[in-house]
Amino acid sequence: MEKPEVVELHCGAGTQILQWVGCTACARLAYVRGEVMGRYVPQSIMTAEGQVLDIHIVLNEMFKDGDELRVEYSDGPVAYKARWEGRPVTPPFEWGDGGEVVPPHDAWLRHLDMRTHELDRLVDPDLAKQAGATERDLQAAKDMLYQNAGALQAVFTLYEFQGEASVESVSRMNLVQFRALTINSKLVTAAFAAEKVDEIFTLIAASARGTNSKLDSSGVANINFLGFLIGLVHIAFARATAINAAGPALPMSERSLAAKLEVVISGHLAAYVLPDLSKKVDRFAVAYTPGAKLLLQKGRRLTEQTLNSCRLKRVLAPEVRVELKYLCSHLIEWKLLGKEFTFADLAVMVLFAKQPTGDAERFVLQPHPLNFNYDEFERLLVAITYFLYMLRKRKDPIEEYLGEMMDYIYRKAGVLQTAARNDEDQ
């Protein structure tokens, strides 16, 4: 086997993306070999172990000085033909009068096939005997999920950050968190024990492996938001069945799957979880004073640069969006997350940043619940500031402390530096 040639690249601050590494390495190799520029075309960027990497990853977000990368090249003419994990494929699209027609962000829920997830098995047998009753009941249950999707998404976000949450587990809920939700919402009773909740979670995680659930690095099963919604439907059915077995039979009007699900959402989540969540989220609104808005407007350019510095990948897109898990890594570096506040505290701040209202029952389904654009990141900074303002029992105006926090974060992100002054200036 031919021994690979070593090309040393000087990357400065490392703000380039891996695509630059491949192109520059191939150009340097052609120069060393006395070939013409463009003789070698990069096909993939790999780790030393051979894992193909996303070419949009920013160097200093994943690598440090002295790290080794491998560049696979060919004669071309097309560059980077190798696929990496998560590489997007061209989505189906159509054109309208205004250009490309993009499906609505809630289309996945509107068109959810309840039978695919075997939820038709949960329809009451007596109701199922009626012509078309099963389809009507499944549609009514799906409508119930859709109407409350914003609130349910918020509840999922709140509890996925509870307990031993980590950067890796963001966007996933584990068994302990799922069980805690059912206990706090008083779904667990003497007739419907927590062990039954565990069985349902295990069933959802096992049946949806690879789609709605996965195992984290420690081997713990997790479910995503869709798996959570399916789990709630199973909870509604199993709980009603348990209560029905322990007491008088349910009247026919309460035996539909939609009616059972309504009890879970309206009678328990809305009654015992959402009111407290609304109070926690709404408290940050007092920090959004006219003075604070003016201060944020003045620092907008630095705020945008700060969010830009948190991107793991730099791709051409209509707007900049940064995933929370990458932002969390920087919050840890800035000595905020894990020191000044926890993941559970961060969950409430995230909801304030993403939702247009503090009333949890009026929350809307977010297309990117854990991705932040400039406006949302700005609101997150306000939430962080107010949380620390109250934690430290500051008495000065919130605007003054907001200015301090913006200055601190800008400096930690490296977008604001103090100019050195010489003796003559002093």
Q: What is the pLDDT of residues 161-207, one digit of tens each?
A: 998 777 777 788 999 999 999 999 999 999 999 999 999 999 998 87
State residue 426's pLDDT score. Answer: 46
Together in a domain, 182 and 232: yes
Q: With bands split at pLDDT 50, 70 and 90, how would you rate the model's confidence at 231?
A: very high
Together in a domain, 255 and 297: no
Residue 214, pLDDT above cutoff 60:
no
Together in a domain, 340 and 371: yes
Q: With bands split at pLDDT 50, 70 and 90, how would you rate the model's confidence at 232?
A: very high
Better pLDDT: 221 or 273:
273
Sign of CA dihedral 393, 398, 404, 410: positive
Residue 86 belongs to a domain: no
E strand or H helix at 101: strand 99-101
CB-count exposure of residue 356 (10 Å: 0-12, 13-18, 19+): exposed
Q: Look at residues 74, 99, 115 and tell me which one is the last residue of a structural domain.
A: 74
Together in a domain, 206 and 228: yes
What mean pLDDT is predicted for residues 3-18? 85
State residue 1's pLDDT score. Answer: 44
Q: Look at residues 211, 246, 272 and tell me which one is the last residue of a structural domain.
A: 272
Sign of CA dihedral 101, 104, 105, 107: negative
- The domain total for the chain is 3
Residue 389, pLDDT above cutoff 60:
yes
Together in a domain, 324 and 197: no
3-state SS, one letter per residue, for 117-165: CCHHHHCCHHHHCCCCHHHHHHHHHHHHHHHCHHHHHHHHHHHHCCCCC
- Tokens representing residue 403 in the block: 């200015």
Residue 366 belongs to a domain: yes
DSSP H helix total and E strand total for the chain:
18, 9
CB distance 43 to 82 below 8 Å: yes
Residue 150 belongs to a domain: yes
State residue 96's pLDDT score. Answer: 72
What CATH number does residue 244 fall under? 1.10.238.10
Residue 321, pLDDT above cutoff 70:
yes
The DSSP output letter for 367 is S
Together in a domain, 185 and 69: no
Residue 98 belongs to a domain: no
Q: Look at residues 272, 292, 307 and tell me which one is the last residue of a structural domain.
A: 272
State residue 417's pLDDT score. Answer: 76
CB distance 248 to 129 below 8 Å: no
Together in a domain, 160 and 259: yes
Residue 39 belongs to a domain: yes
State residue 151's pLDDT score. Answer: 97
Better pLDDT: 209 or 337:
337
Residue 281, pLDDT above cutoff 90:
yes
Residue 175 belongs to a domain: yes
Per cent of the chain over pLDDT 90 is 59
Sign of CA dihedral 369, 374, 375, 380: positive
Residue 85 belongs to a domain: no
What mean pLDDT is predicted for residues 223-237? 95
- Tokens representing residue 265 in the block: 């959402």
Question: How far apart, in Å, are the Cα atoms of 169 and each of 93, 137, 157, 301?
Answer: 32, 34, 11, 31
- Tell me, rounded to whole angstroms, the distance of Cα 102 from its chain centroid: 21
Together in a domain, 213 and 245: yes
CA angle at residue 383 from 379 to 385, to 5 degrees?
115
Better pLDDT: 358 or 206:
358
Together in a domain, 193 and 334: no
Alpha-carbon span 322 to 380, nearest angstrom:
13
Residues 128-134: contacts with CB under 8 Å, at least 24 apart:
none
CB-count exposure of residue 426 (10 Å: 0-12, 13-18, 19+): exposed
Together in a domain, 125 and 245: yes
What mean pLDDT is predicted for residues 275-295? 96
Together in a domain, 141 and 228: yes
Residue 7 belongs to a domain: no
Computed over every residue of the chain, the mean pLDDT equals: 88
Together in a domain, 181 and 132: yes
Q: Per mean pLDDT, which range of 56-60, 260-264, 332-336, 384-388 is the poorest?
A: 56-60
Give which of 224, 251, 257 is closest to 239, Cα–Cα: 257
Both ends of the chain: CA-CA distance in Å? 64
What mean pLDDT is predicted for residues 328-357? 95
Q: Per mean pLDDT, which range of 57-71, 89-103, 260-274, 374-388 is the poorest?
A: 89-103
State residue 250's pLDDT score. Answer: 72
State residue 370's pLDDT score. Answer: 92
Domain that holds residue 127: 107-272
